Structure 1
Amino acid sequence: MRSQDYDRLYLSPPHLGRHELNYVHKAIEDNWVAPAGPNITGFEADICAAVGVPYAVALTSGTAAIHLGLILLGVGPGDEVLCPSFTFVATANPIVYLGATPVFVDSEPETWNLCPERLREAIVDRIAKGKKPKALILVHLYGMPAKLPEILALAQEFDIPILEDAAEALGSEWQQQPLGGFGRVGVFSFNGNKILTTSGGGALVTYDRALAERARFLATQAKDDAPHYQHSETGYNYRLSNILAGIGRGQMELLPERVKRRRQIFDWYREHLAPLPGITVALAPEPAGSRSNRWLTTTLLNPADPEAAPTAPGATPETLRLHLETRNIESRPLWKPLHLQPLFAAAPMYGGAVCEDLFARGLCLPSGSAMTDGDLRRVKEALAEALS
């Protein structure tokens, strides 16, 4: 059969409920459609309640939130910022916006996040070279909490502020505390593929009222307190609209349900893909104290288990991806490490073997919270065909 004979299964499509329309209709009825209004205030309050922080600023994207967060941490031209290599490019691009240099650090194999050993190596070496890092971007990849005790201890030891990139980790927890509140600032994404969406949007969260006020000021073109338009410094058009914030309000009501379903999908894959040769559902089990939202279910070919059956000859993540496409199923390789991207060819890198191996062997499977068990069986059957 041709791929057109099947309905498309997307990797992580938006999943809307009924509540979003209530907030959007109210905004239109009240003519609150400009980048201001009660939905924004309410959405920020919803984020604060979900994350357990006192201040949130709703923005146009997670990338905008990282950009403003780095500004709040004092990053500027000539500075260096520590950053995982195994992440989406949006984590590192704002470093370049500011004329700073990313210093990439390898992953550890348990959570795929920043390796504390390589991180210490990077910090010590940069300081020895006279370039103490200005900030550290901490990512929770695919919703899995990073090794927070070790990383937080290193940041404190060397007095390096943390920007916590929880773009993929809304609803994830460490020691029953929601992710996003462990850094000086935290950021979330509400892009269309995230566990909750505003179609496009993001947020910056913090415990520091002054930082939140500064972020809100910069996000609204840095307009000085004057009756006319007066500007003393560069600002940005980063504020989320009241309409999109209304979508976010409805989505936030669904967060526990969406996390529950993503975790169910992960468990289904883990059980039903186990008999397939040479492939394993990755990032399982969760490390002690961690609870992932399981934003995306990921797999690895040729697992390290010596008792596992070998993968079919010639099988690679790309051959699997292409076969899934013949069944109109979207899948994606794991993130290509940023130190391998042409854009960052000159950036310093510490380690690299772990994230390079993960990229070479990994594939993300459809994980949308609206998937049915029938959809999941279709993915399994397509993988079984490719691996048989």
Structure 2
Amino acid sequence: MDRIYLSPPHLGRHELNYLHKAVEDNWIAPAGPNITGFEAELCTATGAGHAVALVSGTAAIHLGLLLLGVGVGDEVLCPSFTFVATANPILYCGATPIFVDSEADTWNMCPERLREAIEDRLRLGKKPKALLLVHLYGMPAKLDELLALAEHYDLPVLEDAAEALGARYRGQPLGTFGGVGVFSFNGNKILTTSGGGALVTNNAALAERARFLATQAKDPAPYYQHSQVGYNYRLSNLLAGIGRGQLELLGDRVKRRREIFGWYQEHLASLPSLVVAPAAEPTGSYSNRWLTTVLLATGPTPSVTPETLRQHLETRNIESRPLWKPLHLQPLFATAPMYGGAVCEDLFARGLCLPSGTAMTEEDLLRIARALREAL
């Protein structure tokens, strides 16, 4: 049987047009018209005032933290239930992540635990430097409550929308609510540039600063002069061309991911021990359903765990993946403060990501459902 991957790239013919043009015009270096075009089209797609195309979403988070003034000795509020790329850039800056538990509705940062964390850090005389939000698996976080807390405590917001391109909250695209937003175009994302990311902002000065830092922080001089640390973070013109072709398909890709989520809901409903979740979109939320995720409804048993499900799917040549292991449980962050933990630890213990690629066929989906029934 052919392998069914978790979330493989799904290319059309659009991308080749931009790649051919770049090769014909000899624009293959990390500069060129595809980069400026991709950035402009990202602004159109998201409503952001400015976009900076970068080599990865991780690079975008790193630059975003620097733009918000995060430095050595600072503390940054961050969800524990996320991929390590969210928190690693905090360490790049010499800062400390302050982890916050999830809430059960969207699996994103819990406003109550966030308030607890902020007030406790203030009591300790350590006001956090920034709030780093995540929209997990494409589901919008509870932005009304989280942003109200950020405003009340005067915390700049960096919005990690790496998994959430095409999702919206109260009609506004995710990634545009904070002072800085970031997207990822890694190979498994809803759109891909092979490897890549972007930083978006409505602040022209921040965007210009990001471009400066991303191109080795070269001073305005006729020779190579550098007064501060810079980074080699700009996306190449070739990869930006792939991104331009992919962006033309964003609406179709989001529609298909949401259809796949609905298919799983319908066809797995007869399995009482398994729940497709988070099922409901809170009022005002529109998820891109990047990955369909499931939970064991009654909790793991010695014979049925997310890992036994994953292993059985592997015997049918089907890729799946555990939910993110909370960062406060990672050896790398063993000494980082954590507020709460029960919710995200429970999700990790009960959850699995199912194949969600937009090129999957009905036959592929039926094969996955059959394998899950066998395992249960």
Query: Could you say which TM-score interval applies, normalised by the shorter chain?
Result: over 0.9
Q: Pick from 330, 333, 342: which aligns with 1:341? A: 330
Q: Pick from 14, 24, 27: which aligns with 1:32? A: 27
Normalising by structure 2, we get a TM-score of 0.99
Tell me, in whole angstroms, the C-alpha distance in 1 between the residues paired with 2:344 and 2:302.
23
Whether the aligned pair in 2 keeps the contact of 1:166 and 1:179 (CA below 8 Å) is yes
Displacement of 1:313 in angstroms is: 6.5
Q: Secondary structure at the match of 1:224?
A: coil
Tell me, in whole angstroms, the C-alpha distance in 2 between the residues paired with 1:102 and 1:312.
33
Q: Structure 1's 124 and 312: CA in aligned 2 closer, same or farther, altered over 3 A?
A: closer
Residue 161 of structure 1 aligns to which amino acid in structure 2? P
Whether the aligned pair in 2 keeps the contact of 1:278 and 1:312 (CA below 8 Å) is no
Displacement of 1:107 in angstroms is: 0.1
| Partner residue, 1:222 | 217
Tell me, in whole angstroms, the C-alpha distance in 2 between the residues paired with 1:62 and 1:313.
38
| Partner residue, 2:84 | 89
Normalising by structure 1, we get a TM-score of 0.96
Runs of 4+ in 1 over 6 A off after TM superposition: none
Residues 102-138 of structure 1, C-alpha deviation per residue, up to 9 Å, x if partnerless? Answer: 0000000000000000000000000110110000100
1:302 and 2:297 correspond = yes
1:71 and 2:66 correspond = yes
Alignment of 1:189-268 (within 5 A): 189-268=184-263
Residues 330-357 of structure 1, C-alpha deviation per residue, up to 9 Å, x if partnerless? Answer: 0000000000000000000000000000
1:108 and 2:103 correspond = yes
Q: Secondary structure at the match of 2:199?
A: strand
Whether the aligned pair in 2 keeps the contact of 1:84 and 1:104 (CA below 8 Å) is yes
Tell me, in whole angstroms, the C-alpha distance in 1 between the residues paired with 2:175 and 2:362.
31
1:292 and 2:287 correspond = yes
| Partner residue, 2:307 | 318
Whether the aligned pair in 2 keeps the contact of 1:64 and 1:202 (CA below 8 Å) is yes
Q: Secondary structure at the match of 2:345?
A: helix
Percentage of identical aligned residues: 79
Displacement of 1:26 in angstroms is: 0.2
Unaligned runs of 5+ in 1: 1-5, 305-310
| Partner residue, 1:332 | 321
1:157 and 2:152 correspond = yes
| Partner residue, 1:308 | none
Q: Secondary structure at the match of 1:92?
A: helix
Tell me, in whole angstroms, the C-alpha distance in 2 between the residues paired with 1:105 and 1:82.
7
| Partner residue, 2:38 | 43
Tell me, in whole angstroms, the C-alpha distance in 1 between the residues paired with 2:360 and 2:173.
25
Displacement of 1:302 in angstroms is: 2.0
Displacement of 1:277 in angstroms is: 3.1
Unaligned runs of 5+ in 2: none
| Partner residue, 1:361 | 350
1:378 and 2:373 correspond = no
Residue 192 of structure 1 aligns to which amino acid in structure 2? G
Whether the aligned pair in 2 keeps the contact of 1:109 and 1:354 (CA below 8 Å) is yes
Residues 296-338 of structure 1, C-alpha deviation per residue, up to 9 Å, x if partnerless? Answer: 000000259xxxxxx8862100000000000000000000000
Tell me, in whole angstroms, the C-alpha distance in 2 between the residues paired with 1:210 and 1:33.
28
| Partner residue, 2:131 | 136
Whether the aligned pair in 2 keeps the contact of 1:277 and 1:312 (CA below 8 Å) is no
Residue 236 of structure 1 aligns to which amino acid in structure 2? Y
Q: Secondary structure at the match of 1:41?
A: helix
Q: Secondary structure at the match of 1:300?
A: strand
Residue 333 of structure 2 aligns to which amino acid in structure 1? F
Residue 232 of structure 2 aligns to which amino acid in structure 1? N
1:351 and 2:340 correspond = yes
Q: Secondary structure at the match of 1:264?
A: helix
Q: Secondary structure at the match of 1:164?
A: strand
